[in-house]
Copies of this chain bind each other. A is one copy, B any other.
Amino acid sequence: MIIILKPEATEAEIALVVKKIESYGLAAHISKGTERTIIGAIGDERVLQEGPLEAFPFVEEVLPILKPYKLASREFKPDGSIVNVDGVLVGGRQVVVMAGPCAVESREGLLQIAQYVKSGGGRILRGGAYKPRTSPYTFQGLGEEGLAYLAEAKRATGLPIATELMDSRDADAVYQYADLIQIGARNMQNFKLLTEVGSRRKPVLLKRGSSSTVKELLLAAEYILSEGNYDVILCERGIRTFEDATRNTLDLSAVPLIKRLSHLPVVVDPSHGTGKWHLVSPMALAAVAAGADGIMVEIHPHPEEALSDGPQALLPGTFETLMSELRGVAQAVGRSL
């Protein structure tokens, strides 16, 4: 950690900072420049996060040197991790397509969509039983009934199930049926929930919050990893910007950036990332070109009747076309589908 003092800082103030650094078991290293005095704290600076040196009025700025996460970093584990979702490997050479309805709406509807996913080449079935909705007046999901339908769809198709856990009190139910536990963007910093899924033993799909930096996403992953669960897949699904022509701005540069900073697999959700069905296929192709380990898309045979997020759902036929184009792009970047 580098502590930059104000030009007018006195010797006594410099000594105060040094003393404080040493009280945390670190060594202090003073460097007097022509315009500023700078103090380096040598050792594991993470302990200093609880001693906020920038609260001293004579400190101008505090610059961390190390990343605040550790277990999630590529430095900690140079090889990429592969997460096993009930037999489907995410993070290897093969790009994994997860698809399904936004919300589970009915037994028949889900089974039909599951067949589309299977026959199109999707390898994990997604579908929400508990739905976080901006308005209290919209469909909130079928709850445990929806989970049972997902289980039935798995029996029918063999596809592992990905579904969202919104509240710790539903954890037992969700863990009974799901193979991949999804933490939604709005809960990325629900630290109690992260601790909960960290202490259990199923893979977690952690979605980036719409106003979270990549660094904060990796810190959220660190909550899960530090509880002992290393099976974490990250998911880019769009961030909030001033552009209102799309629902979110899909930040695809996060894919190669995360690959550089972390060993965890990364998938992309272009359905939520754009909010418009006609942008989903181009952005799914782009995601794989950028190096994503998988994509997650929403499908609905009658989007205009979907109880949730219809405008961003692909028709089954469009999904099929997308899958065949994805194959070509995956090959062009040395992957398979």
Contact = CB atoms under 8 A, between A and B. Distances in A.
A20 B304 contact: yes
Contacts of A200: none
B285 A289 contact: yes
A50 B138 contact: yes
How many interface residues does chain A have, given as a range?
Answer: 35 or more
A252 to B, nearest CB: 5
A246 B215 CA distance: 11
B273 A282 contact: no
Contacts of A211: 209-211, 240, 242
Given A286-B286, A329-B333, A253 B253 contact: no
Nearest to A285: B289
Nearest to A49: B138
Interface string A35-59: 1101010111010011111111000
A329 B136 contact: no
A11 interface: no
B250 A257 contact: no
Interface string A185-207: 01101111000000000000000
Given A44-B34, A186-B190, A222-B135, A243 B252 contact: no
Contacts of A190: 186-187, 190
Contacts of A223: 136
Interface of A: 2, 4, 7, 20, 29, 31, 33-36, 38, 40, 42-44, 46, 49-56, 63, 65-66, 68-69, 75, 132-140, 166-169, 186-187, 189-192, 209-211, 213-216, 219, 222-223, 226, 239-246, 249-257, 260, 273-274, 276-279, 282-283, 285-291, 300, 303-307, 309-311, 313, 325, 328-329, 331-333
